[in-house]
Amino acid sequence: DGGITQSPKYLFRKEGQNVTLSCEQNLNHDAMYWYRQDPGQGLRLIYYSQIVNDFQKGDIAEGYSVSREKKESFPLTVTSAQKNPTAFYLCASSTGQGEAEAFFGQGTRLTVV
């Protein structure tokens, strides 16, 4: 089945540790995106990549880092510099062309204790 896979679904980390969230897609999409969602809120864009080996900051990039070494993969690292890392993280992909819509993964719920 084609789609976007985020793993794991739930992740727990201790404060001060970096953690990397996985996002893989087999839709052959050029563009990939990371969003953060806090309880009762809409999604906010963290980082996005429109092509391999290139990425741009979104609205809330501080405390996060990404890489895009392969077309199908766009991992997000939540660093210890992120002040409030506990959140629901969603990955999306799109062709990025014209009117094409975005497809979302099922999310990773990160809890930092």
Partner 1 sequence: DAKTTQPPSMDCAEGRAANLPCNHSTISGNEYVYWYRQIHSQGPQYIIHGLKNNETNEMASLIITEDRKSSTLILPHATLRDTAVYYCIVRGYNQGGKLIFGQGTELSVKP
Element (H, E) at 43: strand 43-51
String marking each residue 8-47 x if it binds partner 1 according to CB under 8 A: -----------------------xxx-x----xxxxxx--
- Answer yes or no whether residue 97 interacts with partner 1 by CB under 8 A: yes
Compute and round to an integer the Cα radius of gyration of the chain. Answer: 13
- Answer yes or no whether residue 100 interacts with partner 1 by CB under 8 A: yes
Q: Considering only residues 46, 105, 110, 112, which one is a binding residue for partner 1 as defined by CB under 8 A?
A: 105
Structure-token match 């906010």, residue found = 44
- Answer yes or no whether residue 94 interacts with partner 1 by CB under 8 A: yes
- Measured CA to CA, the distance from residue 16 to residue 81 in angstroms comes to 8
